[in-house]
Amino acid sequence: MKELKDYSLLHHNTFGMDVYAAYFVEYGSEDELCTFLKQKSYKLPLLHIGGGSNLLFSGNFEGTVLHSAIKGYEIVAETSDTVDVRVGAGEVWDDFVAYTVQHNWYGAVNLSLIPGEVGASAVQNIGAYGVEAKDLIVAVDTVCVDTGEFRRFTNKECEYAYRKSIFKLDLKGKYIVTYVTYRLHKQPVWHLDYGNIRTELEKEACPLTLENLRRIVIRIREDKLPDPAQTGNAGSFFMNPVIPKEQFEALRRTYPDMPSYPAGENFVKVPAGWMIERCGWKGKSLGHAGVHSRQALVLVNLGGATGQEVMHLANAVVASVKEKFGIDIYPEVNYI
Ligand code: EPU
């Protein structure tokens, strides 16, 4: 177990905030984690982080930051059609996607290049191009923060919804994910109907293979989303709001080109990025924080931004969207 004091979190948050944690603890196994939690001698508050790709620190963290170094892939079940792989929470998410593609297993490829770690995929229910982590998750192994005891959650018990799970809502901060079991398919299962995936495939006239689809998803993401190694950001800063169909129809009379995605019988999801762009924010900045010039849903650290500056910009964007469209948008990024 690694235990450090006054530790810089610069390399643990993709926004690139140079903030410090009073204590930073990295464990390599479930047993180490259980022992640590049962001792109850750590400085509160406790914050568990993954790749730090969905966090915005407003300043130094005065408690204990925990990080998983639990690694490894294990095939735990297999049929003629499917394979279940149990993955350590500290594995890098995109390494896992690459591993599934190498093995010619279907299901995860649309989620290529999403930053972050395996543990967070089960908490955030990460998603892209018509696929969400919940579509693959069979079970989530956790340790209870209060008792240090193990608990396995089935997919159903995780109460997954768009970018949500029980671990972000009712059980927030109560369980730490140690392993996630995903089910992949041996026979082709494609999701090609979201956005420009199909048109990009056709443009290249390349055969439909997992490798080619992975390459195209990576290229689409790289075109729109800034590389955190160069420009601090946390991917989509806001969630796409879900609104009643009637409200959408009324808005469509004013904005006939407003896009939407189905979200159940009486609701639609509207892209916040589209509304933010229509409010004139794309490429604009306040202080050292900006709205990305190629994807308005992404806020960026233009260099030396503080968390407060990013939050200030986020609040201004939220107010504009509310004023113009009458819709509330909420951050997907967690404020710390
Ligand atoms: N749009 C604009 N202007 C913009 C951005 C988007 O008009 O500046 C329009 C696009 O033209 C399109 C629609 O909005 O009609 C949707 O845009 P896009 O396909 O880029 O997806 P998104 O809804 O903005 C979501 C996810 C992304 C994910 C993409 C692709 C959320 C909060 N974000 O973004 O996830 O990669 O779909 O599936 O759901 C992330 O969560 O960090 C993330 C990057």
Cα gap 143→157, rounded to integer Å:
15
Token representation of residue 328: 């509330």
What pLDDT, in 10s, does the model give residues 157-212?
999 999 999 999 999 999 999 999 999 999 999 999 887 888 888 898 889 999 99
Q: Which atom of ligand 1 is nearest to the CA of 259?
A: 15
Please report the pLDDT score of residue 7 as a whole number: 97
Closest CA to 119 of 48, 178, 52, 66: 178
What are 261-299's pLDDT values in tens digits?
A: 988 889 999 999 999 999 999 999 999 999 999 999 999
The pTM of this model reads: 0.94
User: Structure tokens of 249?
Assistant: 């129809």
Q: Is 324 exposed, middle or buried (0-12, 13-18, 19+ CB in 10 A)?
A: middle
CB 211 within 8 A of CB 103: no
Ligand 1 pocket test, candidate residues 198, 297, 333, most atoms within 8 A of CB: 297
Which whole number is the average pLDDT over 20-34? 97
pLDDT of residue 36 exceeding 80, the answer is yes
Catalytic residues: 163, 236, 332
Residue 60 has pLDDT above 90, yes or no: yes
Q: Is residue 96 within 8 Å of 41, Cβ to Cβ?
A: no
Give, using CA atoms, the residue closest to atom 25 of ligand 1: 128
As a whole number of angstroms, the distance between CA 195 and CA 252 comes to 20
Contact of 25 with 62, CB cutoff 8 Å: no
Measured from the CA of 129, which atom of ligand 1 is nearest? 38
* Pocket of ligand 1, beta carbon within 6 A: 128-129, 194-195, 224-225, 235-236, 239-240, 259, 271, 273-274, 277, 282, 295-297, 332
Nearest to 143 by CA among 70, 91, 75: 70
Residues in Cβ contact with 291 at an 8 Å cutoff, skipping those fewer than 6 apart: 276, 281, 282, 283, 284, 285, 298, 299, 300, 313, 317
Q: Please give the number of the atom of ligand 1 that sits closest to the Cα of 236.
A: 42
What's the pLDDT at 173? 94
Residue 43's SS3 state is coil
pLDDT value, residue 133: 98
Q: How far is CA 119 from the centre of its chain?
A: 10
Pairwise CA distance, residues 33 & 25, whole Å: 10
d(CA 208, CA 212): 7
Give the residue whose CA is nearest to atom 43 of ligand 1.
236
- Contact between residue 36 and residue 68 where contact means Cβ atoms under 8 Å apart: no
113 C-alpha vs ligand 1 centroid, how far in Å? 15
Query: Distance, CA 221 to ligand 1 centroid (Å)?
Result: 10
CA of 95 to the centre of ligand 1 (A): 23
What is the number of the ligand 1 atom nearest to the C-alpha of 292? 8
Determine contact, residues 102/210, Cβ cutoff 8 Å.
no
Tally of residues, the chain? 336
CA of 303 to the centre of ligand 1 (A): 24
**How many angstroms separate the alpha carbon of residue 274 from the centre of ligand 1?**
8
118-128 pLDDT tens trace: 999 999 999 99
Q: Which residue has the tokens 């939690």?
A: 37
Residues pairing with 331 in the sheet: 238
Torsion of Cα atoms, 293 then 297 then 303 then 306, to 10°: 150
CA distance linking residue 224 with residue 34, whole number of Å? 41
Residue nearest to atom 34 of ligand 1 (CA): 236
What average pLDDT does the chain have? 96
For residues 303-328, average pLDDT: 97
What is the structure's pLDDT at 206? 87
C-alpha count within 13 angstroms, C-beta hemisphere, residue 165: 27
**Contact by Cβ (8 Å): 260, 153:** no
| pLDDT at residue number 146 | 94
